[in-house]
Structure formats: structure tokens, C-alpha cells
Chain A
Amino acid sequence: MWTYIVRRLLIVFPVMLGVAFMVFSAMYLIPGDAVDAMLRDTGATAEAMARLRAQMGLDQPFHVQFLRFLMVLASGDLGRSLVTGRPVADQIASQLPATIELTLAALAIAILIGVPLGVVAALRRGSWIDTSSMIVALVGVSMPNFWLGLLFILFFSLQLGWFPASGTGGLRYLVLPAVTLGFSGVAIIARITRSSLLEVINADYVRTARSKGLKPRTVVLKHAMRNAMASVMTVVGLQFGALLGGSVVVETVFGRQGLGSLTVGAIQRSDLPLVQATVMLAALAFVLVNLLVDVSYSLLDPRIRYA
């Protein structure tokens, strides 16, 4: 078990190195560099720009610049925003909590509603509950979250005035964005729970348990669920990536502070250091969560062993 975890952890490094390479190359391709962006309104002379470029090493060939980029990253210095001059690390630190709050709330909604919905649908297979929950699930995966968010604002903020339309703050500010972001997760998790439960319910050991006279409900909760959870966990891991991507949109729709709106703002304003840092952080978070999922998967499912 431990060797598996350590081995998985070790893979994170080359993957992140590759991520850094890709992000750096993408930035390198963009016309105009950091000096253009920094001195854009200052009327600086071409010589002054060349001097600053040399100072920042931007006149060096690609591989030298990439190595320098890695070294700076390794030292933990993420640089400064080209637009505001704010240290990137500070900005990320100030925006991270809001995004964590939002993604966790959305994930909680997805699991707390999705799993029971899936269980009920599986137990009552073919009933109206099953059909309607699967229709809800279909709508959920097909609905663009930015549209759902706008509909929520229209209804719950504009018409009813129950929740604020925009901003970051306490629970009142969290409800609509979290439900918006979690909605597609509800759908996906409900579907997976249902189908993996159906699979397990027909498996031999559950039949045996049933034949021993245990109530179907107990069978489901005690035996089937444990096994079904493994595939649900995998989906949760993948869902996390969707949540990270979705937070970009949802934070924009609801005017929330957070990494997503920071990323979009940085992209719109060509703020290279900020784009690099936020994108790499999203990748790191995604990779680590998937690692976590794989590890807990192996814990949940005793049949799986890793050499």
C-alpha cells in the first residue's frame, strides 16, 4: 500500500514538470512579452525596453528561459502581476479560500443529493422516481452552468430577492453559486451511483446475503454500497476537475472573488505571471485530488491490490 502511495506521489513531479513546460510554451507563443505589458503606457524608449528585457532574461533562448522559469518556480517566487504589481503569491493566497469554499460546498451538494438520488433510483428501478431522477440527471449534465446561474439570479435574486445576485461573503452569498456549480455533479453522481448499485445488486454475494433473509435495504446499505462507493469515488475525482473548470465560469457569473475569476481576469488582461501561476495551481490541485481518489479507491475496494 505505502509503496503504491509513494510511487504515485513520485509521478506527480514529472507530470508537473510537463505541465510547467506546456504552460511556459503557451506563454512563449503569445506575441508581446512581459516588458511590452509592463511598459505599455509609459512611453518608454526602445532602448529602455531592451535593457529591461535583458535584465529579465527575456532575450535569452527558449531553453534558458525555461530553466530560469523552473528555478524561479522552485524557489517559490511566483513573480508579480504585470497589471497591478501585486505579488502573485499574495493574490493566490487571498483568492484561494473563496474557491475552496465554493468547490467544497458544490462537491458536498453533489454528493449529498447525488448519492441518495442514485440509491433511490436503483432500489426502485423502473418506477417514476427512477425515471424522473434520471431525467433530472440528464438535464443536469446538459445544462450549461452559466445559464443555470443566470436563471437562478433572475428568479431568486431579481424576482424573490432571497439571495444576493453577486459578491462574496457569508452563507447567503454561497448558496446560489454552490448549487449552480454542484448541479451537474448531482446529475453525474446520481447516474453513477445508480448504475454501479444495479451492477452490484445482481452480483453473487449480494444475492447470497439476500437469500440469507436480510432485508433488501440492509443488503444495499451494508454490502452493495461499499462496493459501489469505489466507482463513485472515481467519478468524484473527475468531478473535481469539472468543478475547478466550472468555478471559472460560476465565479464570473456571480461576481465572486476566487481563483476562477482571477484566472479569467488574468487571461483577459494578458497578465502572464498570474495566468501561469493560477493555471499551474489548478493542474496541481487536480493531480493531487486524483491521487487522493486513487489511494482511497484502493482502500475502499479490498479486491484491488497494487504491487
Chain B
Amino acid sequence: MDCKKKVRNNMIMAVIYIILGLALIICACVVSSKVDTGYISSLGSCFTILGFAMLVKFIRIKRDPELMRKFEITLKDERNRMISDKAKVYTFAVYSVGAAIAVIICGVFYMKAEAIIIACNLCALVLLYIIFTVILHKKY
């Protein structure tokens, strides 16, 4: 993907985070008299702060050609890509094992609903893995 396009997409994402965060804060303020909304406003604050931080970072990158060049190198660097891919592989492996253990533990403690949710999640993940493996085998 073109670097400028990537910066633009990230800026759009930052604006979405800010809007989502502000919406959550407003929702929390509106219904605060009826229910406990502490966690909703906290989540909203996190989204807003994250959005602003991302926006400032990418505006700086967009305005400064030197920063843009460094960002492009970091983005396209093959070692960085390899590290990112490996991290995803490890995440998938650890999550799969962790979820399988969680299903067993939930089963032991008669937490049937939780066990089903985690098991469905794991099945969906494995199914997606199989689908993408087939697609990539056909592609390459």
C-alpha cells in the first residue's frame, strides 16, 4: 500500500476513534442517572485520547517529508514485516491453547455458557485460518 494512503487511512481511523469516544462519553453522561456508566465513560475517554494521539502523530508525519520517509522505511522494512508476521503467528498459537484450556476450566466449574462462547470463538478462529490457508495456497 502507498505510504501516503496509509497515513490518510490512519488519520481517518483516528477521527473515527475520536467520534466514537465522544459518543460514548455523551451516552454515559445522558444515562448516568439511571445506571452506573463509569466503565463506558472510561472507554470513551480512552478512545478519544488514542484518537487525538494518532491524529497528532499522523498530521506531523504528513507535514514533515523527513518523518514521512522514515515512516515509509519503517513500514516497508522486511525485518519489521517478518517480526510482525511472527508476532501474529505466536499470538494465534498462544490464544488457541489458552482458549482451549479456558474451555476445559469452564467445563470443570460448570460454566457452560462461558465455555460455549469461548469454544465458538476458537472454532471461528480455526475456520478462518483454514479458509485463508486454502486461499493463499491457490494464490501462491
Partners in one complex: no
Binding site for B on A (CB under 8 A): none
